[in-house]
Structure 1
């Protein structure tokens, strides 16, 4: 499932359940923080919801959703589609985040989609698309305040030896890092499980690439949903690649929904990250297991439960 489809469909599921840590006023098209009762305190870790995750409780407007997220205790957001938003909207989001003291998590580098721009092939046309995305990311960052840009290097070039592909990817990423590093922007490389054609598949492989690029602007995005599917043994693999990880994303498996809905023991993983001293953002890149406002309250309740590790 590609990112755009995921964000459109991620909140759809069958059934309903009433759960939550807040009692909210009736849903309107614009969230009014004065109508929220028993809003949540900040979490132990810095979880980041995304656009649409609380649209029934907070309304369709993203700024209202961000205010709702803050009132429920969240202190970050992530927005895969930030690069495609109008510049004026990017600025409004950045201004609100600054006002609330919230952090902007990842936005996706605009370079043609997960498998559409194959840096492993070593072709100049692919490199040019990638570098254009890096230059655009600098401008997006200035407007929204985000310093993390998700990068997927595309598919394997299966007509080439793997080591040659690795060299091509490292070379291209070094050029991107030269653009991003002066602005303090970090491209976070994300290994995925969507299809075996995708070049980045494991944390160890991504660690190797980051060491080859050798830049503070090239690190790992460790998406725990994808890594549970591709390699498992997550706590051990996080330890092995720790010094190159700059960002985590969350999603239970199977289903790619909130913690407590699948097989991953997120309470233990969150406790491990906390004890490791992780202070960064954990993106909630998953759907809601139940529809409507009740499903959104269930997401909040699941994070309260999984965050109660102290």
Structure 2
């Protein structure tokens, strides 16, 4: 059966971040993901995971000045040194948290730089990160993101992401498939999941429009969850949505999948 992890960046926003681990466990989640762990001491986060019996499923490599609007630096030719330093930091955190996969955010394509140079930079950074992560027993993921929410985001489609993975020449790079982003960009959700199952290491979800919980929009999530079981997907599905009201009030969609604490 499909297994779900809570994205703590998006869910349980009514409580402080450290308290979201307990909230996720009470709701019945067995795993968590979030954008970045770097504002916290890794030992504090590890203690929270252990205390609440949660697996750290995923976090991102450092992605530049997030508060300032940057959405990754992997495609930026003038930030290669910073990117490589960030890979080392991410591995340290992943080891401390028992996290077996990290996502690289490509970033917004820079203006005034030739497209082939941007591509070469991204591929070289992916190759560097994939090698370093492989030595640590960690998988590298690439996530396409829709260009309505983040105009100019460099990796914005499944085919492009797979081509970049192939160009890296590494067998330690996988696709992170976000159902919400790919519904907005290309549709064909079930067919794409089936066709590229072997390269998909992680899935995320939200409904569309609105990026709220399943059942609030146009995506047939009961069908997709059954489809994932039929095709044998055995990874996690990250719940990366904006609750329409509170997280707890919007968990009705998950009644058949989560076992809330008594």
CA contact 2:75–2:122 (8 Å) conserved in 1 = yes
Matches of 1:81 and 1:168, distance apart in 2: 23
Q: How many residues align structurally?
A: 252
Structure 1: stretches of 5+ with no match in the other structure: 1-43
From the superposition, tell whether residues 164 and 198 of structure 1 become closer, same or farther in structure 2 (CA, over 3 Å).
Answer: same
**Pick from 165, 189, 213: which aligns with 2:118?**
165
CA displacement, residues 247-271 of structure 1 (integer Å, 9 cap, x when unaligned): 1111101111110001111111111
Shift of 1:159: 4.2
1:213-292 superposed matches below 5 A: 213-290=168-245
Q: CA RMSD in A?
A: 2.5
Shift of 1:69: 2.8
Shift of 1:169: 1.6
CA contact 1:104–1:146 (8 Å) conserved in 2 = yes
From the superposition, tell whether residues 62 and 174 of structure 1 become closer, same or farther in structure 2 (CA, over 3 Å).
Answer: same
2:122 is the alignment partner of 1:143? no
Aligned position for 1:5: none
2:151 is the alignment partner of 1:196? yes
CA displacement, residues 194-234 of structure 1 (integer Å, 9 cap, x when unaligned): 23311101011101111222334321111111111111111
Q: As a proportion of its length, which structure holds more strand?
A: 2
2:67 is the alignment partner of 1:109? no
Matches of 1:50 and 1:117, distance apart in 2: 19
**TM superposition outliers: structure 1 runs of 4+ over 6 Å:** none
Structure showing greater radius of gyration is 1
